[in-house]
């Protein structure tokens, strides 16, 4: 069964450093997403990406965040200057519309720890 792949599974970074979280969505999917889950809290929407541009973003997704699809397979989330409160599990997801199954497929997540 096709999977969404995320790397690394766990990243530790110092406050103020830049991090890039990587995702390989399912190959025929067209919509890509980032969500995050702070420990003990709900999964929260960050951003959606379609046709090489952001289609929707939440209030969490401020100027320190950016997304990119640099080639035909990877989808990245960059955090420019990490803060302690950015520590969370970050999930990538993808979706293909117009199919019988129009749901999200999530990756296994990257646990980001900012120290």
Partner 1 sequence: KQEVTQIPAALSVPEGENLVLNCSFTDSAIYNLQWFRQDPGKGLTSLLLIQSSQREQTSGRLNASLDKSSGRSTLYIAASQPGDSATYLCAVRSNFGNEKLTFGTGTRLTIIP
Residue 70 or 97: the one with the smaller Cβ distance to partner 1 is 97
Residue 86 phi, psi dihedral angles, 5° rounding: -80, -10
Q: Which residues bind partner 1 (CB under 8 A)?
A: 6, 31, 33, 35, 41-45, 48, 55-56, 58, 89, 91, 95, 101-109, 111
Instruction: Find the shortest distance in angstroms from Cβ 22 to partner 1.
Output: 15
Residue 65 or 106: the one with the smaller Cβ distance to partner 1 is 106
Q: In this structure, what is the dihedral angle of CA atoms 71, 29, 39, 22, given to the nearest 10 degrees?
A: -10
Please report where in the chains the tokens 């950016």 appear, as a residue. Answer: 66
Answer whether 46's CB lies under 8 Å from 57's CB: yes
Instruction: Find the shortest distance in angstroms from Cβ 10 to partner 1.
Output: 9
Q: How many CB atoms lie within 10 A of CB 98?
A: 6
Instruction: Find the shortest distance in angstroms from Cβ 16 to partner 1.
Output: 26
């Amino acid at each position: 069964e096709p999977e969404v792949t995320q790397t690394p599974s766990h990243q530790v970074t110092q406050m103020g450093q830049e991090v890039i979280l990587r995702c390989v969505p399912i190959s025929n999917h067209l919509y890509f997403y980032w969500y995050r889950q702070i420990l003990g809290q709900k999964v929260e929407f960050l951003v959606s990406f379609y046709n090489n541009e952001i289609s929707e973003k939440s209030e969490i997704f401020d100027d320190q965040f950016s997304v990119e699809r640099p080639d035909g397979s990877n989808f990245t989330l960059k955090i420019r200057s990490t803060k302690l409160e950015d520590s969370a599990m970050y999930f990538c997801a993808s979706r293909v519309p117009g199919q019988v199954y129009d749901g999200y497929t999530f990756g296994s997540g990257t646990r980001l720890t900012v120290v």
